[in-house]
Structures are given as C-alpha cells and as structure tokens.
C-alpha cells in the first residue's frame, strides 16, 4: 500500500524534474516520458501520452502495474512507452525512476553509429558508468522494451540509435542528472571530432576515478 505522504513527494519530484527535461532542451514538444515508483512497489507512476513535460503537474501521472501493464490509477492515458519503463523496473529492483528523453546531440551521435563507450571526463565515469547501445528499433514496440530491459540488467544508461536516451536511477534526481550528463557526454564526443583525434580516459584513469572517496560521496547524494 502506497503511503499518501511519500507518494505525494514522489509525484512532486517527478513533475519538477520532468519539467526540467523540457526546460533544458533534452526533448522537444510532447516527446519523451518519465516514471517513478516508491521503493519495492509494483506500481509505477508514468507520464501520460500526448502531454509535453512543460505542462505536467503531479496529478497528471498515471499509475500502472509493472507486471500486468494495466492502468490502476489516474485520469489520463499512459505513455505508449509503458512497456519499456516496466521492463526496466522488472529487471532492476534497485531502480525507482526511469527517464526517456530525445536529446539532440545524443540522437546525432547514435545516428552516426557511435556509442558513449569511451568516457572523456570524470563525471561520465562517476555517474554514467557503462552506457549500453541499442541499434535502431521502432519506438513503443515490445522488441524495444525487451532490448532495453536486457540492457538495464547491466547498465544505468542506454543510448537508443535514432531515438534518444534511457536513464535509470534509484531516485528521480539521479535519473534526471544521468539524462543530462549523457547529453553532455554526447556533445563532448561530437565536438572532440572537429579538431581531430581525441584522448579518451584510459582504463587506468577510470579505475582511479572510481576509487576516489570524493566521488563516492557525490554519487551517494544523488540517490536521495
């Protein structure tokens, strides 16, 4: 049973960070979708179909069972990507928020057949980790949901070719910042190709960054 106070805060946070996705131009028009759940719940609260992030209020999110994928609350129709969100939650008990956006640089990078698999700066290592890549699959399909669900078992971030990004988090804030940092990493990857060959962080660099106590603390803050 979801506690009203906890659910109210969750939906307020989800509406707040969903609007930021739009304000920071991480998607355009009514594109993209976000969801969140209370820890351990089988009910996710999902962006409705057809609404822009700019229009969303806490009362607009639609409650959907992640196993049956049936609507269990809310007045609007759930996003057509509900299967993608449900697959992420079913495959990761520690995930409490999923953000799917359409950021321009990330789409451009993926369309060229490239992934974010070579970190260029420390925040990529700390917050994104291994970014999975899904070759183009039609949006809203069961095939896409299954492929993203499999990626979710090993990654918190997924780049969808010619489509966008998926970011998972233990909190709404963490999923949002991963979305933002994926786009930042995509911009850096694209810009670095202008002057010529760029230096990516080596495996040794990555291991050292992962072991820094200062970075462990910053990651902990995002999970709250």
Domain, as residue range, for 79: 4-222
The residues, ordered by sequence, that sit 6+ positions from 135 with a Cβ below 8 Å of its Cβ are: 161
Q: Per-residue pLDDT averaged across 107-112, rounded?
A: 95
Q: How many domains does the chain have?
A: 1
Each residue's pLDDT tens digit, 200-216: 778 888 888 888 766 66
**CATH number, position 150:** 3.40.225.10
Q: Is the pLDDT of residue 219 over 80?
A: no
Indicate which residues carry an active-site annotation.
Answer: 81
Each residue's pLDDT tens digit, 42-75: 999 999 999 999 999 999 999 999 999 999 999 9
pTM for this entry? 0.89
Higher pLDDT, 214 or 163: 163
């Amino acid at each position: 049973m979801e506690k009203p106070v906890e659910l109210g805060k969750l939906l307020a946070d989800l509406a707040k960070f969903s609007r930021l996705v739009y304000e920071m131009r991480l998607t355009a028009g009514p594109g993209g979708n976000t969801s969140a759940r209370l820890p351990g719940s089988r009910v996710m609260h999902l962006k409705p179909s057809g609404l822009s992030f700019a229009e969303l209020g806490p009362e607009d999110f639609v409650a959907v069972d992640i196993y049956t994928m049936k609507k269990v609350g809310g007045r609007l129709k759930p996003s057509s990507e509900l299967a993608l969100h449900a697959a992420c939650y079913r495959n990761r008990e520690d995930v409490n928020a999923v953000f799917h956006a359409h950021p321009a640089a990330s789409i451009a990078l993926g369309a060229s057949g490239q992934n974010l698999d070579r970190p260029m700066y420390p925040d990529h290592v700390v917050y994104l980790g291994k970014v999975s890549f899904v070759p183009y699959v039609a949006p809203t399909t069961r095939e896409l949901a299954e492929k993203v669900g499999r990626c979710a078992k090993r990654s918190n971030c997924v780049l969808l070719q010619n489509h966008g990004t998926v970011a998972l988090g233990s909190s709404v804030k963490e999923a949002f910042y991963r979305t933002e940092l994926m786009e930042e990493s995509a911009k850096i990857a694209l810009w670095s190709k202008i002057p010529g060959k760029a230096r990516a962080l080596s495996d040794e660099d990555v291991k050292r960054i992962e072991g820094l106590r200062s970075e462990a603390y910053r990651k902990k803050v995002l999970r709250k």
